[in-house]
Amino acid sequence: MGGRGVSNRAVATTPGGRSIVRAVPPVLAVLEFLDPENIIDWLGPFATIGLFLIIFAESGLLIGFFLPGDSLLFTAGLLASQDKFGLHLPVLLVGCFVAAVLGDQVGYIFGKRVGPSLFRRENSRLFKQEYVQRTKVFFDQHGPKTIVLARFVPVVRTFAPILAGVGEMPYRTFVRFNVIGGFLWAVGVTTAGYVLGQAIPSIDRYLLPIIGLIVLLSVLPPFLEWRKHRKTVAPVTAAEAEAEAEELEELFDSEQ
């Protein structure tokens, strides 16, 4: 009649029922926050120490699985090659290596303490049984070498040392693969960024697409592999959790 008619047009929503239009700004804010250069810039004079703490958290603390480890190491090396943010390559190499190894050690100890109950833990915003199962697929295929390979796979690198502890991987075996993996990842990726930064002038202009490529290359193969072996990811019963842990333990025993 003179008032505005109510539009019957369907509004696209997220799985949680929230308007996609309203959800976009928070998503963009998260992506901007996880931009490695933004993180380093935000850390300011504490960039070096902050990097060590982030690498430590992502390597073995459940709350650190979402942090951008690969791209952060690469970006730090690249920025160090241009003398930005007070980053120095030798300090980065030693500190990130130590942080990566210590982070995995903490994850292993946590896994031994929490035991099979990890497989029965309820899903939450930060924890999903999907992450545990994705990591277990890696162990089923690669055994203890997963500790090395997982360094280059987001999410899996956080849960690998924890599942090694749950399955009671022999400590000496874990330490050996932990040190090798920590060195290849922390030192290798950081050095790659530094070398590329020195070889190509003004490469920081292309930093975003380079980071995007790193993320894609690290996520795509394990994601496809996980989808091939995907199974139910709901929390399991106590008996099933014990069976999962025993399966890991038998796997580690067979590799000795």
Structural domain range at position 143: 21-254
Collapsing DSSP to helix, strand or coil, 19 comes out as strand
What is the domain count for the chain? Answer: 1
Phi and psi at residue 44, in whole multiples of 5°? 60, -130
Q: Does residue 82 fall inside a structural domain?
A: yes
- Residue 118 buriedness (CB in 10 A; 0-12 / 13-18 / 19+): buried
Beta bridge partners of 13: 19
127-170 pLDDT, tens per residue? 677 777 777 777 877 888 889 988 888 778 888 898 888 888 88
Q: Does residue 27 fall inside a structural domain?
A: yes
Q: Does residue 13 fall inside a structural domain?
A: no
180-198 pLDDT, tens per residue? 999 999 999 999 999 988 8
Q: Does residue 2 fall inside a structural domain?
A: no
Angle CA 63–123–131, to nearest 5 = 60
Q: What is the rounded CA–CA span in Å between residue 36 and residue 40?
A: 6
Q: Does residue 197 fall inside a structural domain?
A: yes
Helices (H) and strands (E) in the chain, counts: 12, 0
Place of tokens 């030693």: 94
Tokens found for residue 61: 């603390």
Q: Does residue 210 fall inside a structural domain?
A: yes
55: confidence class by pLDDT, cuts 50, 70, 90:
very high
Which residues, at least 6 apart from 26, have a Cβ–Cβ distance to it below 8 Å? none
Contact 232, 149 (CB under 8 A): no
Beta bridge partners of 134: none
Q: Does residue 5 fall inside a structural domain?
A: no
13-53 pLDDT, tens per residue? 444 444 333 433 343 334 444 578 888 888 888 999 999 99
Confidence at residue 208, expressed as pLDDT on a 0 to 100 scale: 63
Model confidence pTM above 0.85: no
Confidence at residue 80, expressed as pLDDT on a 0 to 100 scale: 92
Q: Does residue 16 fall inside a structural domain?
A: no
23-33 pLDDT, tens per residue? 333 433 344 44
